[in-house]
Structure formats: structure tokens, C-alpha cells
Chains A and B, each alone.
Chain A
Amino acid sequence: MSRRFFAFTIGSAVALGATVFSLPARAERLIVSVSNHRVTVTPNYSGEELVLFGSVEKDSSTPASRNNYDLVVTVSGPRADMVTRRKERRFGIWINTDYREFLQVPTYLALFSNRPFDAIASPDVERRQQLGLNNVLLTQRVGTDYADVVPNDAFRSAFVRLRSERGLYREETSAVTFLTPTLFRTGIPLPAEVPIGTYTVEIKLFSDGALITHTETAFDIVKVGFEQFVAATARQDGLFYGAFTAFMALMTGWMASIVFRKD
């Protein structure tokens, strides 16, 4: 027990030292690019897949023996507040009783890696680096407090499950493939009902269970076309939109009375 703890401390100290010392002359650099920085969602959009390419650039200070890289890619969509409600049986019928508010959580969240997260890093690092859906920070309002809860909390797991069922939260531990020891790629699937906004892609490079470097990139999802115009108008000019819809209804009714006039 004490030996293991000792070894672990040494290990972290070494890892920490490595990061500190390598900071001025970064031993590795990540160069990444997504296949499309601006995804346009048209009315008949039925989902697509972006591709993220990247390579690990070594320099002279990189230990020659280091080749066992691990990658974790986190794609997070625009953030929003969401409410999860639970139904319970009361008076013979099923009604919403308890609820939890999730504050500024990603509307889309995907985590990809080249092997299982627990093989990449220790549970402690997994938690700190938010590796896996179980470790991603999902802030809840608990009473007057703000906190994330344990992964097996009923509301949290229901939230993740429901988002996953819609393809909006996903976790794939074999999605990142190394084409050469330093060249990698991964697909980013975007379902039909993907939320619009700016998506950040964070790529973290691990070696021997420690984070070596990380980089970020981003892409935008924009909806174009008539539907988007309608949705935007409805949100921004509600009254005008309502008046227009009412007018449209009256015109339709009036036209019908002309077309089908019998007398």
C-alpha cells in the first residue's frame, strides 16, 4: 500500500517535472485540421461526418523512445441550460415530480480516443482531464448549490442516456486511428438534429498516462434556407411572426371560401 503510494507520487512528480521542463521547448506539437470548418445544414440534411486529421510533430527535445501516444478528442457543441424531469406515479397517473437543472452543458458532446480511457490514464487523471462521459463536468443546480454529481446519479445518467439516444452525446474509445505512429484521424458524426452554433474540438495527447500537450480547433454549424429564416424570425420578432401567421391563416381561409364557393 505504502509502496504503491510512493511509486505513484514519484510517477506524478516525474510527469509534472516533464511538463514543466518541456514547456519552453515543447517536446511535441499537435497539428490538426477538420475537413470542414463550416457545416451548412439544409432542410433535407440527414446528418454527416466530419473528419479530423492531425499529426504529432516531434522536435529535438522529444525523447527518442517515445512512440506510444494516446489521443483523446473532445467535441463540444454550443452550451445551454437543460432541465431533466422524472415522472412518478401519483394518484394513479404518471406525472413529472422531481427535476434537476443542468447549467450551461454542451448540447452536443463527443469523446473519441484510440483506446479505452482507463487504459490511457489513471482514474485521477481521467477525472482531472474529463476523459469519458462519466468524467465530463456537467454542472447541476442542487438546491442553491452548483456542483457535478457522481456518474451514477439517477438524473445525470438519465441525462447522458437520453442525449446519447438522440446521437448528441457519444463516447467511442476506438474512433481515433493512428495511420502512422504520429499521423491520426477520427470521424465526427453529426446527426440530423445537430444543434447549430460553434463547436470546439479539443485534442489531448497522452503518453504513459500523462498529458503531454493539447490543442484546440473549432468549426461552425449553420442552418441555411427557409426553415432557418422562419425559426430565427419566430425567436427574434415573435409578435410580427404571430401576426404574419395569423394573416396567413386568414388568407388561406379566405381563399378556400372563394375556391369552394357554392352560392
Chain B
Amino acid sequence: MQLYLPIADIPVNIFLILAMGAAVGFVSGMFGIGGGFLMTPLLIFIGIAPAVAVASVASHIAASSFSGAISYWRRRAIDPALALVLLSGGTIGTALGVWTFTLLRSLGQLDLMIALSYVVLLTTVGGLMFWEGLRSMLRIRRGIAVSLRRSGSHGWVHGLPFKMRFKRSKIYLSVIPVIAVGLIIGFIGAIMGIGGGFILVPIMIYFLRVPTSTVIGTSMVLTLVTMVFATMLHAATNHLVDAVLALILMTGGVTGAQFGARAGQKIRGEHLRLLLGLLILAVGIRFAVELVIRPDDLFTIREVGGAA
């Protein structure tokens, strides 16, 4: 069934979008991530303008992280104080990101920056994750137990001032790195159309030493608020949020996520990380190839103030 997307300005097959939403939702449920880094590229690959894809996926991630956040809240797996401090940086980062997005768009370099950010971020993170997953898998095969959290070792992060006690996470930590992390995630999230969960969770575990019991729930709160904020800012400044597209994605996404979560519980942790790393790496490489090969048409037209 063909459906005309009002903002993206192209007709799409409603079942294709629904299936994409469900597939990404499945993956996101399986790995406990928002899935924006998969959804945005998929939309770009089917011909939706990168700017519209980024802006619309923000609301899709808001939906999936809200349903996730509710269930983590019920399980008391969210640290409200930590979430608030993260958010103070996150909202500023999002506003800065949307502002940069608008600026790049007027310069005609937005598509390039989106593609470049994907290449750099995804190949780095994907590569690291894949490597880490591979190593721990090999170690387990050799029969050596691994603990993800090397407790006891204090890095320079813990020497910073303005320390604060985060009760539910049972950590005593300076607010500076927390705000900085929120800021960075908010910024790249608004530009790239990702929630940033797949970067945020490792950073919080390895860098801020947040315990695994609260890390996913708390990161979901940050994702939720920054993405709601990004949706509103993108809609108000660039008029690029396609609500019809977003609604279809969300519906597919939240459904797929439930099945993904069940599938995820059956797979071992290191296998999950290995798979996720491979997936992220693949998307990054896909963008890199796109940039390097000669485009079919060297010229593009954009209506000033239009979507494409």
C-alpha cells in the first residue's frame, strides 16, 4: 500500500516502513539500544532526505526509549539524580546540535557531515565492540573468567571537583564528566539522528563506573528527554519532522522491540556484543563506501526551504 509522506515528500510503501521499524525494533530490543544508528541510515538508503530522516527518527527513538524507561522505572533501575545531571548537559548539547544542523544545512554540507559522522563514529565504536566481544569470547573459550567492571582502579575522572553522591547507583562522582557526557551525546544525537545509547552505555560503564543495574535505565532517560527535545527543536526550526513516517516507524519499532528483548535473553553477552559490533561496523562501512565511490550524479538541486 502506497502512502505519501507529507514532509519527506515521497510516496513509500507503508509495509516496507513498518517492516523496517519492526526489524530495527527487534535489534534494539535484543541489544537494549534505541536503534537510531540503524533506522536513520535505512531511511536514507530508501531515498528519504538525510535531514528528514534524522529529524523523524528522533521521535521514533523517543517512543521506544519511553516504553523502555517505564519498565526500568518500575524495576527501580533508574538513578534519578544521575539522570538529572546527565540531562542538564544533554539538553544544552541537543540545542547546540540542532543549531549546528541548521547551519550545516544552509551551507549545503549537512548530508556530508551526517555521512562522515556515521563513518567515524560507527567504525570506531563498532570496531572496538567487535574486538572486545571477540577477545572475551576467546577468553571464555580458554576458560578464563572475565569481569566487565574492573573495580578498584581509580582514573583521573575520580580526581575532579564538584563531587556528588548518586545514591541509587551507589557512586560518588564529580558532576563535570557527567555533564560533559550528556552534552556530547545530546549534540551528536541531534545531528546524527541517534539516541546514542550504544555509545552512552559503554562510556557510563567504563568511564563513569556506573553499575550495570542502573546504567541502561538511566541512559534511556537521557535518550528519551534529548530525543523529545530534539523532535521539538527540529520541528520548530527546520520543519523536517515527518509525523506520518515517525508514527509508522514507532508502531513497528515498539512491537519489534518486545520480540527482540526475548531473543536477546537467549544469547550470551559476549556473542551479543560481537554481533552488535559487527552490525555497527557494517553500517559505518556502508557510509564510507558511499562517500568514496563516484556518485551517479554530481549535481543536486535543493529548493530553498524545501525538504530535499
**Which A residues fall within an 8 A CB radius of B?**
43-45, 80-89, 92-96, 99, 101, 107, 155, 158-159, 161-163, 192-193, 227-228, 230-231, 234-235, 238-239, 241-246, 248-250, 252-257, 260-261, 263
**Which B residues fall within an 8 A CB radius of A?**
2-7, 9-11, 59-60, 62-71, 74-75, 108-109, 111-112, 116, 227-228, 231-237, 239, 241, 243-244, 246-247, 250-251, 254-255, 257-258, 291-295, 297-306
Q: How far is the CA of A87 from the CA of B108 in the complex (A)?
A: 11
A-B contact pairs, 5 of them (CB 8 A): A85-B108, A87-B298, A99-B108, A231-B6, A253-B250
Closest to A243 in B: B232
Q: How far is the CA of A254 from the CA of B244 in the complex (A)?
A: 18
- Selected from A85, A155, A242, the residue in CB contact (under 8 A) with B233 is A242
- Given that A235-B239, A254-B70, A257-B70 are known contacts, is A163 also in contact with B301, CB under 8 Å in the complex? yes
CB distance from B34 to the nearest CB of A (A): 11
Contact B301 A82 (CB under 8 A): yes
Contact A80 B303 (CB under 8 A): yes
- Given that A248-B247, A250-B228 are known contacts, is A193 also in contact with B10, CB under 8 Å in the complex? yes
Residues of chain B lying within 8 A (CB to CB) of residue A45:
4
- Selected from B10, B11, B66, B233, the residue in CB contact (under 8 A) with A253 is B66
Contact A192 B11 (CB under 8 A): yes
Q: How far is the CA of A254 from the CA of B69 in the complex (A)?
A: 10
Contact A85 B241 (CB under 8 A): no
Contact A95 B112 (CB under 8 A): yes
Contact A85 B250 (CB under 8 A): no
Q: How far is the CA of A118 from the CA of B68 in the complex (A)?
A: 68
Contact A238 B304 (CB under 8 A): no
Q: How far is the CA of A252 from the CA of B233 in the complex (A)?
A: 20
- Given that A230-B6, A243-B232 are known contacts, is A83 also in contact with B243, CB under 8 Å in the complex? no
Name which of A87, A89, A101, A261 has the most chain B CB atoms within 10 A of its CB: A87
Residues of chain B lying within 8 A (CB to CB) of residue A238:
235-237, 239
Contact B254 A256 (CB under 8 A): yes
Contact A263 B258 (CB under 8 A): no
Residues of chain B lying within 8 A (CB to CB) of residue A252:
63, 66-67, 247, 250-251, 254
Name which of A85, A96, A252, A260 has the most chain B CB atoms within 10 A of its CB: A252
Q: How far is the CA of A197 from the CA of B302 in the complex (A)?
A: 18
Q: How far is the CA of A258 from the CA of B305 in the complex (A)?
A: 40
The 3 closest A-B CB pairs, nearest first, are A242-B235, A253-B66, A256-B254
Closest to A159 in B: B301
- Given that A96-B108, A250-B62 are known contacts, is A239 also in contact with B232, CB under 8 Å in the complex? yes
Closest to A261 in B: B71
